[in-house]
């Protein structure tokens, strides 16, 4: 629900003025490139969110968060820039954009935490490639903050605006690096999904300046802008590799479990009546084949999966 609110708020934020006579859709000397980028991301996010509501399958649950969080970073650029010295000059477009970015951020976090009990990590080469690409993106963020992106201007220090944008980027990069380290240490698969969240927001912030220069001013971009652009691409690619394959594995798990549902264990035959002084010997013959212990679809329907210990159903379930 929060993500839907964030997407809805992002559309008016694109056209309303965020400061002076400037809006994301039309900036003096820049044109519509930032607005077009925002509108594209908001539309893709809205479509993926609608698909996840119509067809609530695990593979679609987190897909909307990738364009949504990059959009959140773009919408957060101006409010962070104005944060300390000039927040009183921020107009409706800036405040609505800030509210949209917070709704997208918090909604994405809650979506991933809700998937925590059934979270699985991508296996084999996919998981290793995703982590390597993610580290590349995070490492690129740090020099991008201090290296000049145009002239003598860097994200760390923008004339008349101070360090607020650089501090925000630095905090997001550090949080992303810590969560990624916890993912590499395999402490829990939930960290595989949480680390892209601050990383994608930082990527959106770093994408703002390259988008401003997209059509007419690419030649004016410095090394800091290009480092930020490639950092955003790397983190977005790692997020796709980390989230979507794991979601597909989670989606296939119930189907595989359903195929292996064991039949109820047959009751043993009653022992024959014994006369006085008679002893009973069990029947000879091949042993009865048993179903191996494991997680299977719950025959009672009370949960998604229930544990079969090889002899009977237990009280252990997975929602």
The 10s digit of each residue's pLDDT in 111-149 is: 888 766 555 555 567 778 888 999 999 999 999 999 999
Residues listed for the chain = 319
In a domain, residue 54? The reply is yes
Choose among 110, 31, 115, 24: nearest CA to 71.
24
In a domain, residue 284? The reply is no
Angle ∠(106,103,229) on CA atoms, nearest 5: 85
Report how far residue 75's alpha carbon sits from residue 248's, in angstroms, rounded to the nearest whole number: 30
In a domain, residue 268? The reply is no
Tokens 């960290």 label which residue? 191
Per-residue b or e along 60-92, where b marks 16 or more CB atoms closer than 10 Å to that residue's CB: bbbbbbbbbbbbbbbbbbbbbbbbeeeeeebbe
Whether the CB-CB separation of 204 and 72 falls below 8 Å is answered with yes
In a domain, residue 76? The reply is yes
Residue 170 sits in the same domain as residue 101: yes
The 10s digit of each residue's pLDDT in 245-266 is: 555 454 454 444 444 545 554 4
DSSP, collapsed to helix, strand or coil, labels residue 89 as helix
Q: How much is the mean pLDDT over the chain?
A: 81
pTM score: 0.76
Distance of alpha carbon 202 from the chain centroid: 13
Domain of residue 225, residue span: 2-256
Distance of alpha carbon 103 from the chain centroid: 14
Distances (CA, A) of 46 to 197, 203, 204, 212: 18, 20, 17, 23
Angle, helix 65-82 to helix 223-259, in steps of 10 degrees: 150
In DSSP terms, which residues pair with 295 in a beta bridge?
307
Residue 151 sits in the same domain as residue 298: no
Q: What is the pLDDT of residue 246?
A: 52
Residue 34 sits in the same domain as residue 181: yes
User: Is the pLDDT reported for residue 194 higher than 60?
Assistant: yes
Name the band, by pLDDT with cuts 50, 70 and 90, for residue 315.
confident
């Amino acid at each position: 629900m929060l993500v839907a609110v964030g997407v809805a708020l992002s559309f008016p934020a694109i056209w309303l003025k965020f400061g002076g006579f400037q809006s994301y859709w039309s900036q003096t000397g820049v044109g519509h490139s930032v607005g077009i980028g925002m509108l594209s991301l908001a539309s893709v996010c809205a479509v993926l969110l609608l698909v996840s509501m119509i067809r609530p399958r695990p593979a679609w649950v987190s897909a909307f968060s990738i364009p949504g969080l990059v959009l959140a970073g773009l919408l957060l650029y101006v409010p962070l820039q104005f944060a300390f010295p000039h927040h009183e000059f921020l107009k409706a477009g800036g405040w609505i954009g800030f509210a949209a970015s917070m709704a997208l951020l918090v909604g994405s976090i809650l979506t991933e935490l809700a998937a925590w009990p059934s979270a699985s990590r991508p296996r084999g080469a996919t998981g290793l490639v995703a982590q390597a690409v993610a580290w590349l993106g995070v490492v690129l963020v740090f020099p991008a903050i201090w290296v000049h992106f145009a002239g003598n201007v860097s994200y760390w220090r923008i004339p008349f605006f101070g360090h607020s944008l650089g501090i925000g980027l630095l905090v997001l990069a550090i949080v992303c690096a810590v969560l990624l380290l916890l993912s590499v240490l395999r402490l829990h698969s939930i960290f595989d999904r949480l680390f892209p969240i601050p990383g994608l927001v930082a990527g959106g912030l770093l994408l703002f300046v390259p988008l401003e220069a997209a059509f007419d001013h690419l030649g004016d971009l410095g090394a800091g802008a290009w480092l930020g652009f490639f950092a955003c691409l790397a983190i977005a690619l790692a997020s796709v590799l980390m989230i979507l394959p794991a979601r597909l594995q989670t989606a296939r798990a119930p189907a595989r479990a359903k195929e292996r549902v064991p039949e109820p264990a047959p009751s043993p035959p009653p022992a024959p009546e014994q006369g006085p002084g008679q002893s009973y010997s069990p029947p000879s013959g091949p042993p009865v084949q048993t179903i191996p212990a494991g997680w299977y679809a719950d025959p009672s329907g009370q949960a998604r999966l229930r544990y079969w210990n090889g002899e009977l159903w237990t009280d252990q379930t997975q929602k």
